[in-house]
Structure 1
């Protein structure tokens, strides 16, 4: 069988190759595994044999999540509140600004760290040639220290973010989806870290964090455009520009490159180029596809906002759902 190798696939080919991969994997599973495979015992046995995580990794994640929570409290108290007072923001905006400033700081740090790691560990080639992941793959290889650090910080951040969404931030209509997203991110990170699928996982991180940076920029500049009874047109321009870049980056990174590079190599590449006894491929790919559908779900809110602006229903971004998908609500 001739392997379809492209730097970026197209949507039709993705569907065709995914179907081929599912059929091929099922045939292989029935032929080689089904007779002695018992769920969930075989699943956990494979996980135990493959797992690269140690108890110390788990404790490090939990410890760093607590540290991030403490840093957030200090960040709000010693940086955000003085800035809100200096800019003479209203009480409502002063309550929203810390969340966006904190998220901007974290997402920017996480994304830059991921970019640096991709270059330093020679993994940028996985972006330009996604199938090359499987020529370098080995179930017993060591994960580079730099990649371990990326996984540690990312997992700890999403553990903290889950707590923050529930207990530290304003509750919104999409907060339940946000919590689900954070839990899915923790599961994906932990699973790919443990099963040594970090070569795929680091691409997922690279393609997802960048759009969040521009979203938080758009929010911050929107909060700053009207303060002390003065309208700042430049802040409004920066907010609108950030929103345009956010929308473009969301589509390009999450709805174009993510499925046509990551989903392409994670199933098709793993089935036809990976080891025959590669475990957890259906589980891992199910979670990746679920993440893709969540991205589509959120993108429809962006399109609704653009439509309402274009038709004149909303005159500016602040009349919409405030780039947060909905009006703020408190817990019941």
Structure 2
């Protein structure tokens, strides 16, 4: 009886403690340097062979992925035309807010749904990826079966980011950071597709959970900004809500994307992965994508901090958009003392054109 209890206790791994920043940097650097030195035979041929031997993605999965991406695009157009835009007009929003509100309403709806599902997987099922991130690689096997509940999460998120790549260019309001956003979607889509094909789906769920929560707050804040002016009346309640969400958004961005993400995800991908699977495939490729994602998170966080400083120092008297990237919200010099009415552009295609390699405004 005691022997069985001892064996059971041995089989249960204790959760590894989360490291600090200094430990992550030092151990991560040493681990990656050692892996690089051991990879003397690495090259294109080995990478090609590793890809063919380890990646597992069927044509049916690709077809379903593309079909769902098309479905998100159609669903957004239908909801915008039949629900979001008519509702904005019924509430008598400003014309420019009626044009922009459907984008935020759509994203708020999706990210709330996707983050709720990720939270369910991490906290209400048997998975312990959040409490013990290194466990994402404990039982990894080449071509292993992806659990159905995680496969659903991947299908939802992957197809949505494929749709978002198209939507950023042709459907969303074009902003100053839209190019960075396109890069973000490409990196995220590559992470989703390749992590599924290589069966790194466990860490993928954790990455999605740590990012979607900020998108919920951002879009909820923007919706309240659009609803401040309704029917010619300024509503203080929506202004208060947008300011409160702006503060929580700034705090949660640091906590989820710059604290938990590197100390949980990067620690697992850089260090624990090699400890559990010494010859783990495409080690440098996946970590490069995760580092790129981290750099973009730092870039946006610095911009958020600049925005907060402007609000606190009185340079900006109210919250318009924490990203402050809408072209029509940029400062314009008045002509002969008269304010210039901003023009709303629905997409890059509507607002810009390429001439001699330089993006310039259209003038008709």
TM-score normalised according to structure 1 size:
0.92
- Which secondary structure state, in structure 2, belongs to the residue aligned with residue 126 of structure 1? coil
Pairwise CA RMSD of aligned residues? 1.5
Aligned twin of 1:115 = 119
Aligned twin of 2:82 = 78
Alpha-carbon offset, residue 223 of structure 1: 0.7
Aligned twin of 1:66 = 70
Q: Is residue 285 of structure 2 the alignment partner of residue 274 of structure 1?
A: no
Aligned twin of 1:26 = 36
Q: How does 1:161-310 map to 2 (within 5 A)?
A: 161-271=164-274, 273-310=275-312
Whole-Å separation in 2 of the counterparts to 1:193 and 1:285: 15
**Please, which runs of 5 or more residues in structure 2 have no aligned partner?**
1-14, 329-350, 354-364
CA contact 1:151–1:189 (8 Å) conserved in 2? yes
Matched residue count: 317
CA contact 2:174–2:326 (8 Å) conserved in 1? no
> Which of 128, 139, 159 lines up with 2:162 in the alignment?
159
Moved >3 Å (runs of 4+)? none
Whole-Å separation in 2 of the counterparts to 1:183 and 1:140: 24
Alpha-carbon offset, residue 247 of structure 1: 1.0
User: Is 98-107 or 53-62 further displaced after alignment?
Assistant: 53-62
User: Is 52-61 or 201-210 further displaced after alignment?
Assistant: 52-61
Q: Is residue 128 of structure 2 the alignment partner of residue 129 of structure 1?
A: no
User: Is 290-299 or 224-233 further displaced after alignment?
Assistant: 224-233
Whole-Å separation in 2 of the counterparts to 1:192 and 1:56: 17
Deviations 1:246-282 (A, max 9, x none): 11111100000000110001011012x2222211011
Larger RCO of the pair (alpha carbons < 8 Å, separation 6+): 1
Q: Is residue 330 of structure 2 the alignment partner of residue 328 of structure 1?
A: no
**Please, which runs of 5 or more residues in structure 1 have no aligned partner?**
none
CA contact 2:73–2:163 (8 Å) conserved in 1? yes
CA contact 1:7–1:130 (8 Å) conserved in 2? no
CA contact 1:225–1:233 (8 Å) conserved in 2? yes
Q: Is residue 143 of structure 2 the alignment partner of residue 149 of structure 1?
A: no
Whole-Å separation in 1 of the counterparts to 2:194 and 2:179: 22
Deviations 1:210-251 (A, max 9, x none): 100000000000111111111111111111111111111111
CA contact 1:7–1:128 (8 Å) conserved in 2? no
Q: Is residue 93 of structure 2 the alignment partner of residue 89 of structure 1?
A: yes
Whole-Å separation in 2 of the counterparts to 1:53 and 1:199: 16
User: Is 44-53 or 231-240 further displaced after alignment?
Assistant: 44-53
TM-score normalised according to structure 2 size:
0.84
Structure with the higher fraction of residues in helix conformation: 1
Whole-Å separation in 2 of the counterparts to 1:296 and 1:132: 26
